[in-house]
A and B are shown apart, each in its own frame.
Chain A
């Protein structure tokens, strides 16, 4: 039935112009005038610019009452899609039609101000999300009860713990009366019990009240728990149209595997004799492949390798060098230094590096991989894999080092004599 469609997206595209030299020269009036002059002199500035299609001809329909998970790798266009759907940025081409009121939760606590009290922030945040004063008045007690911050209602939120902050922020959004709710991985924060509560609330919203939910998350188990439908985006295009959640997750995993493997195995800019080659690098957390790591998490780095026929390697050493996205070397994980040199390596297999508590702070990292045998480099791939680390609770105290002091975290304890 046609009237059952809640959101109709047709031929949606979004183009960004990237300036190759990082920061655009025309970001200052002077620079702009100078580039204007250069244009007059007919020295092409076009070369410095690169078009980038974040979304390219995306079309899909979403039915009313569906909870749809939008899945995709970083850069697949998920965030751009959500931004266009929530009317934050206009599309370059295409059209979206939807019925009723749409609320987007791309960030928890948008507009929260540290100097304002919890009560004041509920009204501010509620009105930013489009609620009227009467609506907030009506829902106020429910919001407070849901967020469990009664006692701190008149305390400035800058004194809140991050958990309280997130609870309050989500509580406001969850009580917004909207026909369509857009949620962007905000559930990655907050403790497990509260996450469960949020998922329950979202389930409630869609099944009991017939509201439509669009949800983006990297956590497949969360997606599985919440969504009944899923769609996969890849490189700005629809790779799998709205299907059942299980099918979508399976499709995504295949896609992710494919991309990651081809990335390392197909690299030609590698150094070494090549008798052993790295074919893939992947990250595992509690036996599940993961794309994004969390600070403090127990992780395994799986380095898949492949040997030339009849080759047997002895005294094989594997090293992973971790660089920040600014090129700073953070650490080198060297199997030999931990007392592990691999003997009689042949065929194919996986070297596993286990990190009990990931000491990397929030940010993006490159990993260089090298395999040497008796001191001779067999394979060396620079920037073999790129990984994002999300802020996590390394010390188990709920406190997180400020990301402005990006460094390696070290276990330590304090006492007094």
Chain B
């Protein structure tokens, strides 16, 4: 018999398998497509919301930033805030949507088998599409302000990926807890709201660190979004975006530790999700 033999046993944890994910590639696409179509269906402004939402935040916080931080020009302040805000919103939507993805798709995996990691992965695709659309804002700001583009810009996608890794790592961990404790859907928005103010979104890392006592610096940089946002700003504006390379690398290391923990935790309980949902 040349058919694949499949064994189902009582082992609880399962393992990350890229080949299995590739086998379910079309499910990944179709789930993402569903979420994307449904999200903007029956909304008058439709896909424009992907622009409006970040635009409002950028206008508000860009204004605040340029009023408080007079060291830079208004245009540059807006550009800094815009680039950081877009990345932060990508992180926050990935984190939030991944956390809720397992619970909100319970009706799928309680009826059919497929690798459950497909659900958070498809969520990420939708967030990325929104992010790409919102990049229009940044491009327009660049053109209007006449800001020069550096060669490092080719590295920018790496930091978009790092942002997704941050959201995914934390999201998978919280999604797993969410299966049993629905408190998560209240906790995540609080974490995100607080998190924005301790990340270099409204002001640069330098602005924060200059005002924080020395011993708090490393704590500030344990935030994995510090590395992603600073790296992204470095790619766009060059120069001094990265305050301290040690802290920068530390933050990136934290990102990967979070991803590792998130994946590990998710796969530890993945098989028994159905029994607790």
Contact = CB atoms under 8 A, between A and B. Distances in A.
A88 B110 contact: yes
B11 A115 contact: no
Interface of B: 1, 3-12, 24-27, 29-31, 33-34, 37-38, 41-42, 107-114, 180-183, 271-272, 274-275
A130 B22 CA distance: 12
Given A96-B8, A104-B113, A115 B108 contact: no
Given A110-B107, A116-B37, A92 B10 contact: yes
A115 B37 CA distance: 9
A92 B114 CA distance: 20
A100 to B, nearest CB: 4
A15 B37 CA distance: 40
A61 to B, nearest CB: 15
B34 A120 contact: yes
18 contacts: A87-B8, A87-B113, A90-B10, A90-B271, A90-B272, A91-B9, A93-B10, A99-B3, A100-B3, A111-B107, A113-B38, A124-B30, A124-B31, A127-B24, A127-B27, A127-B31, A130-B114, A132-B26
Nearest to A106: B111
A229 B110 CA distance: 27
B112 A110 contact: yes
A3 interface: yes
A29 interface: yes
A129 B33 CA distance: 16
A131 interface: yes
How many chain A residues sit at the interface, stated as a range, is 35 or more
A86 B109 CA distance: 10
A372 B33 CA distance: 65
A27 interface: yes
B16 to A, nearest CB: 17
A93 B9 CA distance: 7
A99 B6 contact: yes
Interface of A: 3, 16, 27-29, 32, 83-102, 104, 106-107, 110-111, 113, 115-116, 120, 123-124, 127-133, 136, 179
| Most chain B CB within a 10 A radius of its CB, from A29, A32, A101, A107 | A29
A104 B112 contact: yes
A120 B42 CA distance: 17
Given A97-B7, A99-B6, A133 B26 contact: yes
A123 B271 CA distance: 26
Nearest to B28: A127
Contacts of A91: 8-10
A88 B112 contact: yes
| Most chain A CB within a 10 A radius of its CB, from B8, B27, B34, B38 | B8
A128 B11 contact: no
Contact of B26 (A32, A87, A120, A131): A131
A88 B109 contact: yes
A209 to B, nearest CB: 14
A99 B30 contact: no
A284 B1 CA distance: 47
A124 B34 contact: yes
B8 A95 contact: yes
A92 B9 CA distance: 8
A94 B7 CA distance: 11
A28 B26 CA distance: 36
A247 B101 CA distance: 46
Contacts of B26: 123, 127, 131-133, 136
Given A28-B183, A127-B27, A16 B275 contact: yes
Contact of A128 (B12, B112, B181): B112
Nearest to A3: B1
Contacts of A132: 25-26
Top 3 nearest A-B pairs by Cβ distance? A87-B113, A100-B3, A127-B27
Given A95-B8, A113-B34, A128-B108, A29 B113 contact: no
A29 B8 contact: no
Nearest to A30: B183
A113 to B, nearest CB: 6
Contacts of A89: 271-272, 274-275
A188 B10 CA distance: 32
Given A90-B272, A95-B8, A127-B26, A110 B3 contact: no
| Most chain B CB within a 10 A radius of its CB, from A85, A102, A128 | A128
Contact of A116 (B10, B34, B181): B34
